[in-house]
Amino acid sequence: MPNKIKIVTIGGGSSYMPELIEGLILRQEQLPIAELWLVDIEDGAEKMEIVGSMAKRMIAAAKLDWQVHLSLDRKEALKDADYVTTQFRVGLLDARLKDEVIPLANGLLGQETNGPGGIFKAFRTVPVILDIIEDMRQLCPNAWLVDFTNPAGMVTEAAIKYGKWEKTVGLCNVPFGHITQACSVLGAEEKDLNFKFAGLNHFHWHRVWDQQGNERTAELIDKIYSPDQQEKSDEGLKNIHQIPFNYDQVKHLGLLPCGYHRYYYLQEPMLAHAIEEFEQYETRAEVVKKTEARLFELYKDVNLNYKPEELSQRGGAHYSDAACDLIASIQNNSGKLMVVSTRNNGAIADLPFDCVVEVTAAITSHGAEPLRWGALPPAARGMIQLMKAMEETVIEAAVSGDYGAALHAFTINPLIPAGDTAIKVLDQLLYAHKAYLPKFASKIAEIEQTKPEIVTFVDQLLADRQAHAHKG
């Protein structure tokens, strides 16, 4: 009889929890689970109770004897864990709202993992993941950390480089959408195609072959991105406006882009659309708040013991399912190929050996073994090297609280114009998120004392969004 395992999910009140439970149930033959712990903070306690009760109903319906525990005490939950998954959002959706509306009010992209908002999500999240690792070091020193907290690539790199937690793997649902899209366009099943991804989280490219060894990448580019095929360019990413890519540009590179590349290849129209949503009080955070409210009303139904279809509208579908796949692959040393964030180890020749990249890797009992990609074409190489330098600088600032490093990260980011606007938006976001940025406390105090216009602008902007939400 295999040893029973204990899985802990930090962010146990997440609306994605039913998907995680479904994924674990589907893999019950591969995962000898004894205990499942859901952990959250006080502000997430009510939601955790709702999804925790639903998890128990789902497990009972599957006739499994897993013990489900709900806790606000992270240390209690982590003791002797085998796998720790993270799906938390520091500051909850209110923080995401700030990440979106403050840049947009200044004419910059407001988005969860790109531009100023993505940088600040890392600033808030990296210190927390390092605190979690310190607890793990004491309480479950042999556990695997499976991160799908965004920005997943930077969080994974911080865990490995600064937290020294080698047993860390990051996950994203975006590659799943591209794989599904390719299968649909080619009329093939996933098992009949071979995929190879390389890049960074939300900034990767990929190639595709069939079982006979024929590369199908160029065919897919024609069938998805040519002007008469643009209706096929939807990768199923609910949170990204589907402006068609430029066919000639994709054709030139010869690689299939990530849906998030729109923010860089199509910066002007994507920004214009985001500003339009902002003006209509329909930023993604504002939409997701309404979606989550509906989901949790569904989850309260005492007869609901399965994942509802409405969860697919949340925008991050398949994160949790991918996590279950990853845990099962590590547990069973399967060697399954998955797209994960892991240490480069030479897979992408153009990036540092020890940095974290998002690549196709074989998943074994000792972690992810990335497949070698080699060098990228110059047009991709320049972009990815800039983005990786930005990520490294963001992590440095998150760990140190160095304002100069934070400003440098803003300056490097292609979606932020350098100069006065960068400083203004940086200061506004620091003030807005002061409750979750203790590393920057002295700089935030200085901003409050010397830049009253920053305080006034942010307070009025957020009050306006809140008033509109209550009116709606």
- Which residues are marked as active site? 260
At 76, list the tokens.
Answer: 């209690």
The 3-state secondary structure of the chain reads CCCCEEEEEECCCCCCHHHHHHHHHHCCCCCCEEEEEEECCHHHHHHHHHHHHHHHHHHHHCCCCCEEEEECCHHHHHCCCCEEEECCCCCHHHHHHHHHHHHHHCCCCCCCCCHHHHHHHHHHHHHHHHHHHHHHHHHCCCCEEEECCCCHHHHHHHHHHCCCCCCEEECCCHHHHHHHHHHHHHCCCHHHEEEEEEEECCEEEEEEEECCCCECHHHHHHHHHCHHHHHHCCCCCCCCCCCCCCHHHHHHHCCEECHHHHHHHCHHHHHHHHHHHHHCCCCHHHHHHHHHHHHHHHHCCCCCCCCCHHHHHHCCCCHHHHHHHHHHHHHCCCCEEEEEEEECCCCECCCCCCCEEEEEEEEECCEEEECCCECCCHHHHHHHHHHHHHHHHHHHHHHHCCHHHHHHHHHHCCCCCCCHHHHHHHHHHHHHCHHHCHHHHHHHHHHHHHCHHHHHHHHHHHHHHHHHHHHC
Indicate the angle between helix axes 92-105 and 115-139, nearest 10 degrees: 150
- CA-to-CA distance for 472 and 470, rounded, in angstroms? 5
- CA-to-CA distance for 61 and 251, rounded, in angstroms? 50
- CA-to-CA distance for 433 and 204, rounded, in angstroms? 29
Distance of CA 3 to the CA centre of its chain: 31
- CA-to-CA distance for 288 and 285, rounded, in angstroms? 5
Nearest to 15 by CA among 286, 285, 291: 291
φ, ψ at 121 (rounded to 5°)? -65, -40
